[in-house]
Chains A and B, each alone.
Chain A
Amino acid sequence: MDSIAALKELLYKIADDQLIIGHRNSEWTGLGPILEEDIAFSSMAQDKIGQSEHIYNLLHQLGEADADTVAFTRNAPQFHCSQLVELPIGGYDFSLIRHFLFDFAEYLRFEALKTSAYQPLAQVAKKFFGEIKYHTMHANTWVHQLGHGNGESNGKMQESLNYAWNYALGMFEPGPAEDVLITENIFIGETALREQWLEVITPLLEKSNLVIPSQSEWAPIYGGRKGEHTEHLQPLLSEMTEVYTIDPTADW
């Protein structure tokens, strides 16, 4: 695989993750637990969709179709998002745990990309770093709060963590050209990213009275990066593209 193909693969999975989790989290808009949280969570969902647009634009510069076409005309098997981000929002406990697991991975991914040899990507990474940093602060504050709330809140968070864990490990599914990305200094690679992620979230979850499942139970759920998805992705895409399907020129 040449470096352009490897780079595109990397960009697609980053953008697809952002678009899908952004859309998922936007499902809470108007239904959030309190007004202030509703605004904050919706705003972060918008951030994610905005970030994905910038990454799709990088792909467009590399010869792919424009952002709207790429976002709104593909079917599930053409998406490279991890299965973690496509799961339904569930209860707020699950949405918060996913937000925590995903955003710390994204934070570290973008931290690494700030020094990417591919300059346009490094610039985008620097541009969005502040947004993503806030997302991790929001996630960690909530997880800490509910981890320490009462037996019920801690129990729900722990249950969601157990459920989400192997999906979260699936975010780090190695791509077909990890070696190219690493030797060309485009990206540090999924294995290194996963190590960093574990180092960062392990003490944070401990401080929140939550326990990472024991290593013997770790079984990363891969496939998303290759277009293998849960039954939840296609209905999400159909809902997301409803307006576009009716009128591709609609503007709002």
Chain B
Amino acid sequence: MANENNKTIESLDPRISRAQLTGGNHADMEGMTHFQTFEVFHQSKRGTHHKHVGIVHAPNADMALLYAKEQYARREVTANIWVVPSSCISATEYEDDDIFSTTPEKLYRNPASYKVMDRIQEWKEREKSISREV
């Protein structure tokens, strides 16, 4: 099989035949390391949050920005891109994910349960009438 793999690939695609590729033999890649990964954050409009959209592999931040633009901003409206080395991220352990479960009897900690909307509305109306008077 090893000999098979060293044969030059013949393809209907003339580019592939021209490249004189051999299949399957990656001995020359042994000992090579991967580029580091960068987390990519995409901002669609100035002033809005950057949102995590995925990763790119790159040897450094400059190259990571080049690739992030092509991978994640080619078809999106984009104002700005951040890249951050994945190694800079600190994360919780999945095995500790029980720390996120809250007991249901604490609705008072959920902002949706506050009954203040009418008071906020009242305050807004008052603001409006004051500015009108001024």
Point out residues on A near B: beta carbons under 8 Å: 27, 29-31, 34-37, 39-40, 43, 134, 137-138, 141-142, 145, 239
Contacts and interface: CB of A to CB of B under 8 A. Distances in A.
A31 B66 contact: no
B36 interface: no
Given A36-B56, A36-B71, A141 B14 contact: no
Given A43-B70, A43-B74, 9 more contacts: A30-B16, A31-B21, A36-B70, A36-B71, A37-B67, A39-B67, A141-B62, A141-B66, A145-B63
Please name the 8 residue pairs, one residue from A and one from B, whose CB atoms are nearest each other, closest first: A36-B67, A40-B70, A27-B15, A141-B62, A36-B56, A138-B66, A43-B70, A39-B70
A204 to B, nearest CB: 14
Nearest to B57: A36
Contacts of A138: 66
B71 A31 contact: no
Contacts of B63: 141-142, 145
Nearest to A36: B67
Contacts of B89: none
Interface residues of B, number: 20
B66 to A, nearest CB: 5
Nearest to B19: A31
B58 interface: yes
Contacts of A35: 57
Contacts of A239: 14
Contacts of B58: 36
B35 A31 contact: no
Contact of B71 (A34, A39, A137, A141): A39
**Which of A40, A141, A239 has the most CB atoms of chain B within a 10 A radius of its CB?**
A40
Contact of A137 (B56, B59, B66, B74): B66
Interface in B65-119: 66-67, 69-71, 74
21 contacts: A29-B15, A30-B15, A31-B16, A31-B19, A31-B21, A34-B57, A35-B57, A36-B56, A36-B57, A36-B70, A37-B67, A39-B67, A39-B70, A39-B71, A40-B69, A43-B70, A43-B74, A141-B62, A141-B63, A145-B62, A145-B63
A44 B18 CA distance: 22
Nearest to B62: A141
Given A34-B57, A43-B74, A134 B69 contact: yes
A141 B67 CA distance: 11
B40 to A, nearest CB: 11
A232 B73 CA distance: 35
Nearest to B63: A141
